């Protein structure tokens, strides 16, 4: 299995905006992104604006998006590269 990319919170926000997420609010160093899904309803995720996201944090975010988008997690990791 390929290594997970090392990305910042800003990189994640830019990548996810390409697949339809948009920021709705920011509190301190955390930005909330929103995307409306017709099948599952809205998805709101929180992205920390850190220089590098922890592996577990990134994995949890990607897992949630993959579940809603109904695509493999690897496809989302490829978007972050």
User: What pLDDT sits at residue 1?
Assistant: 56
Asked if residue 4 belongs to a domain, the reply is no
Asked if residue 24 belongs to a domain, the reply is yes
Report the domain count for the chain. Answer: 1
Q: What is the mean pLDDT for each group of 10 consecutive residues in the chain (81 residues)?
A: 84 95 97 90 96 95 94 93 88
User: What pLDDT sits at residue 4?
Assistant: 79
Q: Which CATH number belongs to the domain containing residue 38 in this structure?
A: 3.30.920
For residues 23 and 75, give the distance between their C-alpha atoms in angstroms, rounded to a whole number.
Answer: 22
Question: Alpha helix (H) ranges present in the chain?
Answer: 9-17, 55-69, 73-80
Asked if residue 40 belongs to a domain, the reply is yes
């Amino acid at each position: 299995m390929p290594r997970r990319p090392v990305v910042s919170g800003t990189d994640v926000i830019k990548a996810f905006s390409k697949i339809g997420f948009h920021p709705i609010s920011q509190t301190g160093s955390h930005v909330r992104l929103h995307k409306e899904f017709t099948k599952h309803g809205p998805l709101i995720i929180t992205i920390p604006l850190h220089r590098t996201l922890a592996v577990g944090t990134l994995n949890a975010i990607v897992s949630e998006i993959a579940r809603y988008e109904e695509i493999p997690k690897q496809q989302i990791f490829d978007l972050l590269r």
